[in-house]
Amino acid sequence: MRIISVALLTFLSSTFVVSALGQAPSKILTPEEQELIKAQKANEEAQAEFYREQTNKLRQPPLAASPTPGNTFRQSVAENPASVVGVVGTILGAIIVALVSLTTLYFNSRNAIKAQIDSQFYEAMKRMGDKDSPTLRASAAGLVALMAQQEWRELALSKKRRFLQVEKSRPYFETAVDQLMVGHLLENNPVATESIKKALQQLIPLVPHKISTITRELHTANLSLQDEIASLAAEFFVVNKCDKPPNPYGDEQHEDLWKRLQSATGFQTRSLRKLAMHSPSFTNRFKTYRLILDAQNDADRGQLLSAIHDKLQVASGHLRANVILFCTALEKLQSKESPHEPDSRIFYFDRAFLVDGDMASEVNLSNIYFENANFSGTILRNVNLTNTFLFGAIFDVMMKGGSLRNSSLLQVEFGAARIEGVDMTDARLAGAKITAGLSSAWWKADFTIDDRIDSELLEYLFDSQYVPTDLNDVHASVRIFLETKQEKSEQEHSL
């Protein structure tokens, strides 16, 4: 519309000028005036052409408007910094709110799950203490072991390069092990005892950082169970009208009673005799129970014997379970690559009862104190017993491979032991009782004791065992024995 208005006004003004010129009296125009008139006419024609083009454009249909190119982010920041800061702040605020919401949801959900699992764990612990139902106790022991192995991952601050790191934990583990250890000693039902044993077997190998503590606790329980069986054995002899404690060794008078104890416990007479000999509870309980029974003249001995028999079965079942757990702990006690220096023993398991145990291959039992221990029937595969103290032990084992190097085997009872392919270099064998074969290089062992050579044992070994033809690597004590024996032989021939 503005263009049309301008065109009309220009047309009217030009018309007015022409009419004014037409009314003026004709006269001869000067060259300058003629040039001016020509310029006006050219201008009018140019304006008329322009307006015609504009009129044609107005008559055409309108085209779609092309979008105005927007400013880049950098141009927007340069033109209006405040608006950009506001937008960024809004976006950051929204992100922070979203993160807080997600974090709150995560921790609320996690805490809810944790509370639920806590309830389940403590319910299982409660069932383990159910005094009326052995079935509940047995199933609860398995559930407690399963829950003890559950791992939780939590974010924790770190001083290392990464500010946050994920830490793994087993929040129920220690409580589960402690309660199962208590149940291991207190449980009277054989099925529940077996369930507790299996539960502890799963957990013991998972705690290398605490394995020494658990092994010592199992040894303490082992001694306690031995003392309990020794006390019950003393009561058994008292009820069977023994006036004084029987001599565990060299007493053939009560051989029949020892056999009956073997039937009740499932342990050989030799193991029971050794247990009674080294347990102070045997003699102490015999004297106490003798006085108690003498004060009850009309006591029913049949009922007492039946009760003692049942208690012996329960206690021996506990001890068998303990042997399995004790062996499991010993397998993990020391790494294979960390032997200690001689005479630097840090583990003392004297009087350990490991009858019918079974050790995994390549276990390291070096430098451990096993004085008067009982390994009867134990299977040892490539076990390292270097520098181990076995004084007075029963070592009636099946040992294949491994080492007894520099170990103390003084007065050890080998019984029917099968020792095959074992390194016996410098093992102190004097005073040992050997009745079966030693399919190892026994001639490398040390047979001296108190500055004398155990010639009797050497004589037995030379008469009954394999003797190598090349004696260059025999121990000095064996060489002295051979030289002495050769001298006696030459003297006898000379006579």
CA distance 323 to 313: 15
Element at 152 (helix H, strand E): strand 152-157
Go through the domains of the chain in sequence order and give each one's CATH number: 118-207 (no CATH), 215-325 (no CATH), 340-494 (2.160.20.80)
User: What's the CA gap between 242 and 253, in Å, rounded?
Assistant: 10
pLDDT one digit per residue (tens) for the chain, 495 residues: 444 454 444 544 444 444 444 444 445 767 767 777 777 787 777 777 776 777 776 666 655 554 555 556 566 656 666 555 666 778 888 888 888 878 787 677 767 777 777 788 888 888 888 888 889 999 999 999 988 888 877 666 666 656 566 677 788 888 888 889 888 888 888 899 999 999 999 998 887 678 899 999 999 999 999 999 999 999 999 999 888 888 877 667 788 999 999 999 999 999 999 999 999 999 999 999 988 887 776 567 888 899 999 999 999 999 999 999 999 999 999 987 655 555 455 899 999 999 999 988 889 999 999 999 999 999 999 999 999 999 999 999 999 999 999 999 999 999 889 999 999 999 999 999 988 767 888 899 999 988 899 999 988 888 877 777 667 788 999 888 888 877 777 776 666
pLDDT at res. 307: 92
| Cβ-based neighbours of 391, under 8 Å, separated by 6 or more | 371, 372, 408, 409, 410, 411, 412
**281 Cα distance to chain centroid:** 36
**Residues in Cβ contact with 43 at an 8 Å cutoff, skipping those fewer than 6 apart:** none
Closest CA to 377 of 411, 427, 327, 439: 327
CA–CA separation, 102 and 110 (whole Å):
12
Q: How far apart are CA 399 and CA 397, in angstroms?
A: 6
Contact 464, 439 (CB under 8 A): no
Q: What is the dihedral of CA 428, 432, 435, 438, to 10 degrees?
A: -10
Whether the CB-CB separation of 148 and 173 falls below 8 Å is answered with yes
Judged by DSSP in three states, 375 sits in coil
